[in-house]
Amino acid sequence: MLQKEFPLLKSYTLPSYNIKYSKSGRNLKFKLLLSIPSVIAAVKKEHKLVAQIIKKEGIAGTISDNRFGVYNSNIPAVYITHQLTVFSGKTTGITSKTHQKIIKNFNECWIPDVENESNFSGDLGHLKLHDFNLKYIGILSRLKPEKCPIKYNLLVVLSGPEPQRTLLEEKLLLELKNYQGKVLFVRGTLENIKISKASSLPIGMAGNIKIKNYLLTDALEKALNESELIIARSGYSTIMDLAVLGKKVFFIPTPGQFEQEYLAKTLKEKLIAPFTNQQDFSLEKLNEIVNYTGFKETVTSFNLSNFHLFERK
């Protein structure tokens, strides 16, 4: 996706963490525990590779989007995350302390949120006590709001790991067969994964439903601005995009992902957006949206030029 968005930029591929997800949200924690050895091995490899890239390219500083090994003691390193607290049920204390220990390898930790009560990350991105260098840099989004005529009654934007992406796709396509409005369905896959036979809907047009594998930034921004209601996962990046655009949304958290479940519950309590568990979704649930305000347009004010961490000396 990044190579398609920025075709003129040089890119390097870091080792995969090879995290495996399960069909059942209840088994996700066990799957993640089994992934720990491969994650540790990948972090060691990426740390060595990053050192080589820094030397080869003359890099002045690094910004890591939740990549544990992207830092080097010879140059400034920033870690960017909204999860200072990592919810994992009964093991939340352990996972949070482990993540905070990783953050201490970096010079600064940037949280894409505001520090005051109008924040979106809640307890995830705010600690009462800490001993590392935090900076709240405001809501981040590459998208911009635009006043334009509504083209779609409903926009579905899928994202996240398999097999849960496919499971939600299958459920939504079956439900939407009875939907009368205009739908744009963005599958969120760069690979040519076939649509389930159960849905019997081809890529392209199928009645009132238009289906796309993915959309790059400009097309996605246009589609979001032209849509009346969004169905999406309650991932934090998605929340920031919708907040900047000021959209109304119905969330379906990824099963077993405590972070997405927490964010969805928090936004429901604030009467911003409703949500339901994946297995409980039905078309009738969309009627709940009238009881929620939706997001109010939020400004992205981050400007890298205001940060002097990477100035060469």
Look up the CATH number of the domain holding residue 208: 3.40.50.2000
Which domain range does residue 21 map to? 2-139
Do 56 and 23 lie in a common domain? yes
Q: Quick one: 134 and 172 in the same domain? A: no
Q: Considering all CA atoms of the chain, what is the largest pairwise distance in Å, rounded to the nearest integer?
A: 63
**Alpha helices for 58-178 (secondary structure H):** 92-103, 164-176
User: Does some domain include residue 300?
Assistant: no
Instruction: Give the 3-state secondary structure of residue 108.
Output: strand
The angle subtended at Cα 246 by Cα 240 and Cα 247, nearest 5°, is 95
Residue 79 lies in a domain: yes
| The pLDDT value given to residue 34 | 62
Half-sphere exposure of 297 (CA within 13 A, CB side): 8
Within this chain, do residues 283 and 172 fall inside the same structural domain, yes or no? yes
Residue 61 within any structural domain of the chain: yes
* Cα-Cα-Cα-Cα dihedral sign, residues 107, 93, 118, 64: positive
Supply the pTM of this predicted model.
0.88
Number of H helices, E strands in the chain: 7, 10
Bridge partners (DSSP) listed for residue 108: 78
Domain boundary among 114, 139, 164: 139
- Total structural domains within the chain: 2
pLDDT at residue 53 greater than cutoff 50: yes
Q: What pLDDT shows up at residue 201?
A: 54
Q: What is the pLDDT of residue 30?
A: 58
d(CA 33, CA 99): 15
**Residue 170 sits in the same domain as residue 236:** yes
Check whether 205 has a pLDDT greater than 50. no
CA 94 to chain centre: 23
The residue length of the chain stands at 313
Q: Is 48 helix (H, G, I), strand (E, B) or coil?
A: helix
Identify the pLDDT of residue 26: 58
Q: What is the pLDDT of residue 279?
A: 93
Distance CA 162, CA 146 (A): 33
Same domain as 44, residue 14: yes
**Residue 105 domain-assigned (yes or no):** yes
- Going 213 to 29 to 281 to 260, the CA torsion angle's sign is negative
Same-domain status, 73 and 198: no
pLDDT of 18 higher than 50: yes
Q: Does the pLDDT value for residue 66 go beyond 50?
A: yes
Higher pLDDT, 104 or 27: 104
Confidence category of residue 313, pLDDT binned at 50, 70, 90: very low
pLDDT over 50 at 198, yes or no: no
Instruction: Give yes or no: residues 208 and 183 share one domain.
Output: yes
Please determine, for residue 134, whether its predicted confidence score (pLDDT) is greater than 90.
Answer: yes
Using pLDDT thresholds of 50, 70 and 90, give the confidence band for residue 14. Answer: very high
105 has pLDDT over 60: yes
**51 and 166 together in one domain:** no
Highest mean pLDDT among 38-42, 189-193, 219-223: 219-223
- 134 within a domain of the structure (yes/no): yes
